[in-house]
Amino acid sequence: MSRDEDVEDKVTIALIACGPEYSGVQSEIESAVESLNAKLVYPEMDVSELDTIGRDFGLEVASADLKLLMARAKAIVEGRAKVDAVFVASCFRCAEGALVRNEVRRYIHQNTSIPVISYSFTERTTASTLLTRLEALTTVARRRHLLAREKQKGLTAGIDSGSTTTKAVVMRDNQVIGHGWVPTIKVIESAEEAYKKALDEAGVNREDIQAIGTTGYGRFLVGKKYDAQLSQEEITVNSKGAVYLANKQKGSATVIDIGGMDNKAITVEDGIPGMFSMGGVCAGASGRFLEMTAKRLGVDITELGSLAVKGIENNIEMNSYCIVFGIQSLVNSLAKGASPEDVAAAACYSVIEQIFEQQLQEVDIREPVILVGGSSLIDGIPRTLEKFLKVEVIVPPDSQYIGAVGASMLSSGYIKEE
Amino acid sequence: MPENNTDNNNHQDTITKLVVIDSDWVLPSDAAMKIYESETEVTVKETCFGLMVNGPTEAVNRAVEDVVSMDRNHIFVKQRGFPPGDERRCRAVRGGGPRPGYYFLREEVNMLPTIGKALDDYDKGVSVKETKKSKKLKTSKLKDIIESNVEE
Amino acid sequence: MAKVFIYPTNSLILYDLVERFGHEPLAMMGRVHEKITTPGIDSPPININPEDPKYGLKYAAVEVPSGVRGRLAMAGPLIEKAEAAIIVNDSAISFGCMGCARTNEMVKYMARQKDIPILELEYPNTEEEGKEFVYKIADFLKSLPGAKENNREGENE
């Protein structure tokens, strides 16, 4: 959210969903949307369309609410309902709902330039879970002009206050000149430490910094502390940072960010996210799993990748994706004499397989595929991802600083012309 | 929002009934007038299908019974969960889209002339013939049809 | 007077016929009314909050989607109270409480599992079918204890 938030018009988000009212999460969706200065709308259509929507859309399902969902999507695509963004949602574990949700998401993405996300909820879904996703949706709808920025100018800083690590960069005239990377212990203190490191490396005084951008879990707290010009969720910031660092700002791209606690998969068009998924799937599919594996192998996390590329994952029997039971499988294998290389390879494989199965199905993979986030530095991870996707995976320079670079770059749009 | 409801609507003893009028001689406005004449405790809202009557349960039931008596077999009644104009279901407040139940209600309303006529007949003791639904064609029959068409 | 569960749970025609023949219809509108008039819950539009899908675990396991369990939490108590049921299959589509096909299958199953008189029939397409439809329902309702004649009899003439 930026400072000029309250003077902007409300973004209209079409909620096309099956089940939120009956799952008790309708009010959670509403409160998340309200906090973003946005408004939910339900596209109007002629109810008689429902008689033939199965044939018209092409997917014949039994549930009336899913027919309604498809008819509303059609009204949006045909321009009968004017909306800024679309949120497609259905119940978690419903096969019928998942089929419709994914096809509708794809249908809207392919036929309009309206940003769309899909989500499957349970009764435990809360407004705070939805907030980052919906914030990204409203940002794309509201601030295309901001996201159109392709170069950093002046002297700016970016701080990415993540769940596991805090990263900071200082940039000058389109170059990263200072870095800081520390584990997140206390949000503010860790941010200060990372920021100071970046300033020291850059050799600049903090008074000279012209604009600051923050992102990540702690973005609001850190943004307030440094009076940041921009505090923005990590989906738009990271996708912008990724295409910037990979020098792929024009055309399509897919950004995959494997973080310490959750992962993002984002289909990007000209640097703007069009479709994305954000999974707190499970800790077993996160950087944390790799960290624990490294600890068990008695190596530094930075060495895990070089081990993994030498190993063969099939030599290890993994019975579970779970961070507890998966690690147990690895430990058992070690006890039976498995090589650390094979174990490292199996850990990378497990993480990527899970992301592939549970998350990458929610977006359309378009080349180039840009892998970012701390885990991208573990060599086994991009290589395994290439095996799954059968395409080249690019890891841009400074890929672990992606959020900080994106925030720093975007914040330079707020530098006042002298 | 619930706090915007009147006290009446917040009470379990207050109900809303939807009266659908499919009569040749009773108009929704006549029915509304009839209620206003006798019941002072209820509020009546005219809709495209008929009336919504809201108020204390007993008064609503009395009012509805009065209206139904105007053309017994051609005026139909069901309860409605929400009171008329409740913001929680109001399309204007909630960002549009069809109200749940509207589509099905429209379908059922189309069927009411048939239902009304059947009730008239039932009351008069007119007998009914068992109707037969068409069944799927037997494969042997289909085979015959195919063969007779292919032979040409 | 018998408590008669109706399916579709929001049917105008079934609600009307059940009441017309002197019984108490058990319909979704009554449940919605109960929900929205429950004090202390503010979860618009229908005051279903995350507790309802949890209550729905009474009828379906946790791997069943929350929307199914939430809807079952609405329909289940009606079926529990039912002393008879009328199930009409093949009805026109209907959203909301009736918008989920899996829930609807389960609701009908739950009603059929009860040891109560049940009338099952199809929605009519023609006038003749409509007549048979009304006659069957009327006869069924009159067979239940405490039935009234169609109390609207004769008053039109």
CB A211 within 8 A of CB A205: no
Out of A39, A42, A50, the one facing B97 most closely (by C-beta) is: A42
The pLDDT value given to residue B10: 45
Chain C environment of A26 (Cβ under 8 Å): 43-45, 48
Chain B residue nearest residue A16, CA to CA: B97
Contact A22 C101 (CB under 8 A): no
User: What is the fold, at CATH topology level, of the domain defined by B2-124?
Assistant: Alpha-Beta Plaits (3.30.70)
**Domain assignment of residue C92, given as a range:** 3-143
Question: φ and ψ at A277, to 5 degrees?
Answer: -130, 150
Task: Please report whether residue A149 resides in a domain.
Answer: no
If you average pLDDT over residues A377-388, what whole number do you get?
89
Chain C environment of A23 (Cβ under 8 Å): 48, 50, 53, 65-67, 70
Contact B81 C30 (CB under 8 A): yes
pLDDT tens digits, B112-151: 999 999 999 999 999 888 878 778 889 999 999 999 988 6
Tell me the CA distances in angstroms from B125 to A228, A295, C149, one per residue in order.
82, 86, 12
Other Cβ atoms closer than 10 A to A294: 21
Contact C34 B1 (CB under 8 A): no
Does the structure show a pLDDT above 70 at A303? Answer: yes
Min distance C85 CA to chain B CA atoms (Å) = 17
Binned at pLDDT 50, 70 and 90, residue C95 comes out as confident
Task: Please report whether residue C149 resides in a domain.
Answer: no
Min distance C41 CA to chain A CA atoms (Å) = 11
User: At how many degrees (to 10) do helices A287-297 and A301-308 cross?
Assistant: 90
**Cα–Cα distance, A137 to A118 (Å, whole number):** 11
CB B97 within 8 A of CB A72: yes
Task: Please report whether residue A240 resides in a domain.
Answer: no
In chain A, % of residues over pLDDT 90: 54
Q: Is C138 at the interface with chain B, CB within 8 A?
A: yes
Between C56 and A358, residue with greater pLDDT: C56
Contact C50 A19 (CB under 8 A): no
Q: Of the candidates A115, A45, A35, which has an alpha carbon nearest to the alpha carbon of residue A74?
A: A45
pLDDT tens digits, A407-418: 999 999 998 765
Q: Is A220 at the interface with chain B, CB within 8 A?
A: no
**Cα–Cα distance, A168 to A176 (Å, whole number):** 10
Q: Report the number of distinct structural domains present in chain A.
A: 3
Same domain, A24 and A117: yes
The pLDDT value given to residue A42: 92
Binned at pLDDT 50, 70 and 90, residue B12 comes out as low
Chain C environment of A24 (Cβ under 8 Å): 43, 48-53, 66, 70
Contact C53 A22 (CB under 8 A): yes
Q: Tell me which residues of chain C, numbers 106 to 145, contact chain A at a CB-CB cutoff of 8 Å.
A: none
Chain A environment of B102 (Cβ under 8 Å): 47
Q: Of the candidates B43, B41, B32, B40, which has an alpha carbon nearest to the alpha carbon of residue B66?
A: B32
**The two structure tokens encoding residue A31:** 């409160």
Binned at pLDDT 50, 70 and 90, residue B6 comes out as very low
Strand B14-21 versus strand A230-231 pairing type: unpaired
If you average pLDDT over residues A284-288, what whole number do you get?
80
Does the structure show a pLDDT above 60 at A14? Answer: yes
**Domain assignment of residue A290, given as a range:** 248-395
Chain A environment of B94 (Cβ under 8 Å): 40, 42
User: Cis bond leading into C25, ω under 30°?
Assistant: no
The pLDDT value given to residue B1: 34
In chain B, % of residues over pLDDT 90: 51
The pLDDT value given to residue B135: 84
Task: Please report whether residue A113 resides in a domain.
Answer: yes
CATH of the domain at A70: 3.40.50.11900
Q: Of the candidates B68, B37, B33, which has an alpha carbon nearest to the alpha carbon of residue C156?
A: B68
**E strands in A107-153:** 116-121
CATH of the domain at A344: 3.30.420.40
If you average pLDDT over residues A293-304, what whole number do you get?
86
* DSSP string for C44-71: TTTT--THHHHHGGGTS-TTS-HHHHHH
Does the structure show a pLDDT above 60 at B11? Answer: no
pLDDT tens digits, A2-13: 444 445 689 999
Does the structure show a pLDDT above 60 at B30? Answer: yes
Binned at pLDDT 50, 70 and 90, residue C152 comes out as very low
Out of A63, A90, A93, the one facing C63 most closely (by C-beta) is: A93
Name the residue with tokens 């590329």: A309
**The two structure tokens encoding residue B16:** 């809303």
Interface size between A and B, measured as CB pairs under 8 A = 26
Most C-contacting residue of A15, A21, A22 (CB-CB within 10 A), to test interface: A22
Same domain, A254 and A225: no
Between A260 and B52, residue with greater pLDDT: B52
In chain A, % of residues over pLDDT 70: 97
* DSSP string for A14-78: EEEEESHHHHT-HHHHHHHHHHTTEEEE-----GGGGGTHHHHHS---S-HHHHHHHHHHHHHHT
The pLDDT value given to residue A273: 87
User: Can you give the residue ranges of every domain in chain B?
Assistant: 2-124
Contact C54 A123 (CB under 8 A): yes
Q: Is C136 exposed, middle or buried (0-12, 13-18, 19+ CB in 10 A)?
A: middle
Min distance C61 CA to chain B CA atoms (Å) = 27
Other Cβ atoms closer than 10 A to A368: 18
pLDDT tens digits, A308-322: 888 888 888 887 778
Amino acid identity for residue A185 in this structure: I
Contact A43 B103 (CB under 8 A): no
Chain B environment of A42 (Cβ under 8 Å): 94-97
Binned at pLDDT 50, 70 and 90, residue A269 comes out as confident
If you average pLDDT over residues C53-58, what whole number do you get?
94
Q: Is C90 exposed, middle or buried (0-12, 13-18, 19+ CB in 10 A)?
A: exposed
pLDDT tens digits, B87-120: 777 777 777 776 777 788 888 999 999 999 999 9
Q: Is A10 at the interface with chain B, CB within 8 A?
A: no
Min distance B55 CA to chain A CA atoms (Å) = 27
- Chains contacting A (3 or more CB pairs within 8 Å): B, C
Q: Angle CA(A215)–CA(A221)–CA(A225) in degrees, nearest 5?
A: 105
Binned at pLDDT 50, 70 and 90, residue B32 comes out as very high
Same domain, A16 and A62: yes
The pLDDT value given to residue A65: 93
**Cα–Cα distance, A84 to A8 (Å, whole number):** 13
Same domain, A177 and A263: no
Task: Please report whether residue A335 resides in a domain.
Answer: yes
Percent helix, percent strand, percent coil in chain A, to nearest 5: 50, 20, 30
Most A-contacting residue of C10, C97, C100 (CB-CB within 10 A), to test interface: C100
Out of C50, C66, C95, the one facing A64 most closely (by C-beta) is: C95
Most A-contacting residue of B103, B107, B108, B109 (CB-CB within 10 A), to test interface: B103
Q: Report the number of distinct structural domains present in chain C.
A: 1
Other Cβ atoms closer than 10 A to B148: 9
pLDDT tens digits, A142-167: 887 888 889 999 999 999 998 888 99
Amino acid identity for residue A388 in this structure: F
If you average pLDDT over residues C88-112, what whole number do you get?
90
Contact B98 A43 (CB under 8 A): no
Task: Please report whether residue C154 resides in a domain.
Answer: no
Out of B94, B95, B103, the one facing A47 most closely (by C-beta) is: B103
Same domain, A354 and A258: yes
* DSSP string for A217-269: TTHHHHHHHTT-SEE--HHHHHHHHHHHHTT--SSEEEEEEE-SS-EEEEEEE
Half-sphere exposure at residue A73, Cβ-oriented, CA atoms within 13 angstroms: 34
Half-sphere exposure at residue A38, Cβ-oriented, CA atoms within 13 angstroms: 29
Same domain, A138 and A166: no
Neighbour-count burial for A100-114, b at 16+ CB within 10 Å, e otherwise: bbbbbbbbbbeebeb
Out of A20, A62, A90, the one facing C101 most closely (by C-beta) is: A62
Name the residue with tokens 């900080």: A404
Contact C13 B101 (CB under 8 A): no
Min distance A260 CA to chain C CA atoms (Å) = 28
Binned at pLDDT 50, 70 and 90, residue B3 comes out as very low
Same domain, A181 and A53: no
Q: Is C32 at the interface with chain B, CB within 8 A?
A: yes
Between C125 and A186, residue with greater pLDDT: A186
Task: Please report whether residue A205 resides in a domain.
Answer: yes
Return the SS3 of A118.
strand
The pLDDT value given to residue C153: 41
Task: Please report whether residue A343 resides in a domain.
Answer: yes
CATH of the domain at C47: 3.40.50
The pLDDT value given to residue C155: 39
Other Cβ atoms closer than 10 A to B62: 18
Q: Tell me which residues of chain C, numbers 48 to 87, contact chain A at a CB-CB cutoff of 8 Å.
A: 48-54, 63-71, 74
Chain A environment of B103 (Cβ under 8 Å): 47, 50, 64
